[in-house]
Amino acid sequence: MINVLSVATDEPGQDGKDPPEPHCEASTGRHKAWVVLASGGLLLVGIGGAVLLAWWALSFHQYNEQLWMVPVGLVLVGTPVLGWLSVFSSGGCQSLERVQAATAKSPPSLDPER
């Protein structure tokens, strides 16, 4: 006969050790890596737009040629700026810090006999 009542996942085991945390370190590492890659990509896009505008200004501005480079360069420069501005002004970073702070604290040990 199997004793079903003795199996508890929220309580410490009989050896006194706490159960493993549901949040692993790899998920926060992946998130940080994604943020770094996304920020790097936005930075490269912005630099690419600035380089395109500088190239147009140095090579084609005198003759008013290749005018398509101006709006494309402005879009490439402005997109990352607006993206970063919207993320930081929305409070997404603050809520991310709150989530990380909440997961960093270990939950209190619940003792049903109290």
List Cβ neighbours of 97 (8 Å cut-off, separation of 6 or more).
none
pTM of the shown model: 0.56
Q: What is the pLDDT of residue 72?
A: 97
- In this structure, is residue 9 part of a structural domain? no
Q: What is the pLDDT of residue 58?
A: 96
Phi, psi of 108 (to 5 degrees): -65, 145
- In this structure, is residue 26 part of a structural domain? no
Domain with 76, as residue range(s), is 34-104
Asked whether the beta carbons of 78 and 48 are under 8 A apart, the reply is: no
- In this structure, is residue 93 part of a structural domain? yes
- In this structure, is residue 111 part of a structural domain? no
One-letter amino acid at 45 equals: V
- In this structure, is residue 59 part of a structural domain? yes
Domain count for the chain, please give it: 1
- In this structure, is residue 5 part of a structural domain? no
CA–CA dist 30, 21 (Å, integer): 17
- In this structure, is residue 109 part of a structural domain? no
Q: What is the pLDDT of residue 15?
A: 54
pLDDT digits (tens, 9 = 90+) for 30-80: 877 887 888 888 899 999 999 999 999 999 999 999 999 999 999 999 999
Q: Give me Rg for the CA atoms of the chain.
A: 26
pLDDT digits (tens, 9 = 90+) for 10-32: 445 455 555 554 444 456 778 77
**Is residue 6 pLDDT above 50, yes or no?**
no
